[in-house]
Amino acid sequence: GAVVSQHPSRVICKSGTSVKIECRSLDFQATTMFWYRQFPKQSLMLMATSNEGSKATYEQGVEKDKFLINHASLTLSTLTVTSAHPEDSSFYICSARDWGAGGAYNEQFFGPGTRLTVL
């Protein structure tokens, strides 16, 4: 299957700083990318949908000013956690989707995740 990478895999930062996480589709063009958050022993929670060249769509309850998403190219989306606090510590996972020629429906490919720890 297609490969999605995330960078960094782990990050530790001080409270109040901002952290940027990159999500890249390595061998296909992703017109749509999704960002998820996962707390320990819980399921993945969808945060936002990111479409190339347009503003992200956030799920209810997700602060768009705190979690800035940019999808500037067909292979890269970034999530910036602004003014991070300890409660933002979590596992952040992205996924990418290639709609394919004619809008064919394809599966999402997930990145390996980024473990964020805010001290």
Q: Binding residues for other proteins, per CB under 8 A?
A: 1, 4, 6, 32, 34, 36, 43-46, 49, 91, 93, 95, 97, 99, 105, 107-113, 115
- Beta carbon of residue 88, minimum distance to other proteins (angstroms, whole number): 18
Q: Is 86 exposed, middle or buried (0-12, 13-18, 19+ CB in 10 A)?
A: exposed
- Beta carbon of residue 15, minimum distance to other proteins (angstroms, whole number): 24
Where would I find the beta strands (DSSP E) of 4-110? 4-7, 10-13, 19-25, 32-38, 45-51, 57-58, 67-73, 76-81, 90-97, 108-110
Nearer to other proteins, 75 or 95 (CB): 95
- Beta carbon of residue 32, minimum distance to other proteins (angstroms, whole number): 6
